[in-house]
């Protein structure tokens, strides 16, 4: 497809300053992905909503189990904080399910970025601007659409959760344009919902004398949306101050067990054979068996036996904590055939998940990012990578629906 004239100037003016990163295009509208309405509704939207509900079922089991909290590496000192957050019904706003999908289905869940997913601005706003521009230019046909109600769903979610005029704070690490774009996208939705939205860099947040969190202007923070992962926050010095701060965190502490790849084996245990799931186990339970040096743990032996053929043909090992494909490896027929060069998360326990090859289009492999807002799937974005492991040099591609 032809690029829109002036799109780079539009990106710059709107704060989308990372449209090119590391000397490569990040936003790429030289082509787009086309879907039919049935593919969107039956293969992506409805299954993603169902997967999110399944994840919530898993949370209820995890927070009631010390053994599962341990398996997911939730620090012992803060397990009560996580469980209490779930029991009190602390609200969630959003998340992004990453799916492998070849156009025929069923889509397969690769992982759930349920705590600090980025690419929100690109998905919710800039690709919608692309759709409108290409329709106006006649590049797209009248009636073409996009699966994208993300912004509207965020506005409705904020409006449903908070009384009009409530003040919310939004934070991310300073100096990161991509993170700031995500936080500002959330703040934009909050303001449209009639709320106050104040941004402060994460490193400027402090404590008042009575133990409340305050921003850079010493305003008390009552509700905080933080683009900072719980796996790091629970290991920071400030973690012990959370319970007494009277601050509502968004995303809530219970998201620490949903954004964790240790969720994948539990989902498979609870919903084995579900068409949108891949067989998954903790490496500690099946690693020796896959390597031919032992047998699986008794607790998973039967399930492993049913999935063994698929796992031996190909599986992926992932640390329970990992971002942008770091420390991920693909193993086929007992041999590592691809591994991420970034090994920052190599020290964490790992899970084993059956390998679902991504489809290939012009040398690129797309991953569907299905956005959950509240309890429902509200839209999607697509990132593609030349490598089989989607990493930090992936490109974002727009999509459209043409149901004819």
> Domain residues of the chain, as ranges?
35-52+76-259+363-401, 279-354
Is the pLDDT confidence value at 247 over 80?
yes
- Asked if residue 251 has a cis previous peptide bond (ω within 30° of 0), the answer is yes
Q: Average pLDDT of 123-152?
A: 98
pLDDT band at 151 (very low <50, low <70, confident <90, very high): very high
Structure tokens at 45: 């939207």
**CA–CA separation, 335 vs 90, rounded Å?**
44
pLDDT band, very low/low/confident/very high, at 404 (cuts 50, 70, 90): confident
Q: Which residues pair with 367 in a beta bridge?
A: 383
| pLDDT of amino acid 242 | 95
CA–CA distance, 11 with 126 (Å, rounded to integer): 8
pLDDT at 345 over 80: no
CA distances from 240 to 221, 235, 276 (A): 17, 9, 38
pLDDT tens-digit series, residues 188-219: 999 999 999 999 999 999 999 999 999 999 99
Rounded to 5 degrees, what are φ and ψ at 245? -85, -15
Q: Give the Cβ contact number of residue 142 at 10 Å.
A: 6
- Rounded to two decimals, the pTM is 0.96
Q: Is the pLDDT of residue 221 over 80?
A: yes
Q: Is 332 helix (H, G, I), strand (E, B) or coil?
A: strand
Mean pLDDT of the chain: 95
Mean pLDDT of 254-273: 97
355-386 per-residue burial string, b: 16 or more CB within 10 A, e: under 16:
bbebeeeeebbbbbbbbbbbebbbbbbbbbbe
Distance CA 4, CA 138 (A): 11
Q: Report the percentage of the chain scoring pLDDT > 70.
A: 100
Q: Cα torsion for 100, 134, 378, 362, to the nearest 10°?
A: 0
- The pLDDT tens digits for 73-91 are 999 999 999 999 999 999 9
Q: Chain centroid to CA 320: how far?
A: 14
Q: Are 337 and 331 in contact (CB under 8 A)?
A: yes
Q: Would you say residue 243 has pLDDT above 80?
A: yes
């Amino acid at each position: 497809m032809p690029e829109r004239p002036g799109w780079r100037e539009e990106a710059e003016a709107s704060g989308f300053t990372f449209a090119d990163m590391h000397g490569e295009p990040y936003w790429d509208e030289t082509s787009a992905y086309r879907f039919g309405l049935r593919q969107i509704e039956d293969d992506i939207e409805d299954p993603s909503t169902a997967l999110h509900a399944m994840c919530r079922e898993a949370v209820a089991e995890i927070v009631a189990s010390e053994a599962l909290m341990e398996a997911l590496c939730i620090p012992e000192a803060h397990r009560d904080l996580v469980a209490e957050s779930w029991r009190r019904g602390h609200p969630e706003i959003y998340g992004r399910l990453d799916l492998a999908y070849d156009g025929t289905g069923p889509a397969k869940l690769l992982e759930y970025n349920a705590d600090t997913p980025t690419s929100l601005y690109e998905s919710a706003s800039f690709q919608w601007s692309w759709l409108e521009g290409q329709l106006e230019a006649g590049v797209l046909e009248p009636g073409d659409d996009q699966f994208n109600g993300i912004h509207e769903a965020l506005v409705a979610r904020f409006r449903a959760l908070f009384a009009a005029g409530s003040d919310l704070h939004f934070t991310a690490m300073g100096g990161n344009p991509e993170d700031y774009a995500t936080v500002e996208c959330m703040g934009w939705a909050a303001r449209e919902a009639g709320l106050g939205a104040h941004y402060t860099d994460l490193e400027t947040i402090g404590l008042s004398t009575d133990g409340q969190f305050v921003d850079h202007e010493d305003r008390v923070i009552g509700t905080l949306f933080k683009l900072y992962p719980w796996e790091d926050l629970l290991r920071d010095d400030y973690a012990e101050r959370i319970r007494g701060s009277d601050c509502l965190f968004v995303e809530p502490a219970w998201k620490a067990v949903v954004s964790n790849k240790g969720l994948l084996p539990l989902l498979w245990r609870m919903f084995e054979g579900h068409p949108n799931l891949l067989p998954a186990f903790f490496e500690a339970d099946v690693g020796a068996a896959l390597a031919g040096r032992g047998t699986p743990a008794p607790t998973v032996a039967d399930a492993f036996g049913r999935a063994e053929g698929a796992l031996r043909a190909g599986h992926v090992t992932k640390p329970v904590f990992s971002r942008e494909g770091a420390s991920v490896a693909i193993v086929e027929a007992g041999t590592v055939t691809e591994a991420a060069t970034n090994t920052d998360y190599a020290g964490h326990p790992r899970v084993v998940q059956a390998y679902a090859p991504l489809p290939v289009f012009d040398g690129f492999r797309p991953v569907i990012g299905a956005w959950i807002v509240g309890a429902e799937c509200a839209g999607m974005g697509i990132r593609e990578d030349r490598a089989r492991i989607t990493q930090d040099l992936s490109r974002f591609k727009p999509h459209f629906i043409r149901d004819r």
